[in-house]
Amino acid sequence: TPPLLIYLFRSLLMDMDWELADATPRRILCDSGFMRGLRMALGWTLDRSPTLANLHPSLANLDHVHCLMYKFHCDKYLMGTSFQGAKLLIDKENELPCHVHYVWCTETHTLPGGIDFCLVVCMSPLMSRNLLLACRVSINMSFKHLHSWQEFEIEAWDNNHMRSFINSQSAQAHLVLFCQIFSIASEDTGTAVTFKHIHGSGYESVVADAHMGQGLGLGMFCSELSKNIKTPCIYKLHHKLCNLTPYDHLCQFYHLCVVHFKRNLWPLQGQTSDQQVRIARAILSCKLH
């Protein structure tokens, strides 16, 4: 491939910005920004879309294209796009003003039993404000975007409040995660996190998809918040807040997502009796207070 065309190909890829992180020879041909730049470079006027071979015949070899992209990728992401790359990214963001920060935390923690886990917390200042102003949020965990990592989100119906990545589903790991999330949001906004059943205002409900460790980790976080508060719970007047267990806290605001719950029951149909399935569905309507 002529050096001039390699430089042109590199400029088209660099214009993809962060999307270059997971770009592949086939995926870039589905990227509207890359294809727009390719059309402009070729002066393309036909109805069908151009291919890299239209730029130069050597670029019809996908292995050759992959090698070029790998080199460009290494130039942009010196430490790769794994956890080490995230640590380098946060070093760069620390040089920027606080109001443009997005990646706040890349840490490794040791759980009881000597097991290490990593977490990355991403949250803009606007997300911090929205997170602490919200009263009803949902928690969602995705396993599709990063291999061996879980993408954890707190969101409301109108916007996304934060995003983090974690490689453990234990309750202790989620406790550390919630502590970091709300510590960053409080530091960013100067506002403390509040729950209605503890402080009289704040989070009224949290809907979750019930992945392992989420609920108990959030309940443990509430126990940490209320461990020195001796006033009665507004929903359980005969119980002091400092004496509530993590599960007692969850009973006041935590709800399972109906869609996720029913989806987890589908594989059981045909393997268990209809009565057992109906009993399992009835759990959604159980109220302890």
pTM value is 0.76
CB within 8 A of 169, min separation 6: which ones? 150, 211, 212, 213
- pLDDT the model gives residue 97: 81
- The per-residue pLDDT of the chain, averaged, comes to 86
259-287 mean pLDDT: 73
pLDDT greater than 60 at residue 186: yes
- Which amino acid appears at position 142 of this protein? S
Asked if residues 90 and 106 have their Cβ atoms less than 8 Å apart, the reply is yes
Categorize the per-residue pLDDT at 146 as very low, low, confident or very high, splitting at 50, 70 and 90: low
Return the bridge partners of 272, or none.
269
Largest pairwise CA distance in the chain: 79
- pLDDT the model gives residue 158: 63
Of 251, 223, 222, nearest to 236 (Cα)? 251
Categorize the per-residue pLDDT at 288 as very low, low, confident or very high, splitting at 50, 70 and 90: very low
- pLDDT the model gives residue 69: 92
CB within 8 A of 184, min separation 6: which ones? 104, 105, 121, 123, 128
pLDDT greater than 70 at residue 230: yes
57-78 pLDDT per residue, tens? 999 999 999 999 999 988 888 8
Residue 252 tokens read as 């006041």
- Between CA 42 and CA 20 the distance in angstroms is 21
- pLDDT the model gives residue 60: 92
76-96 pLDDT per residue, tens? 888 777 788 888 888 888 888
* Helix or strand (DSSP H, E) at 206: strand 205-208
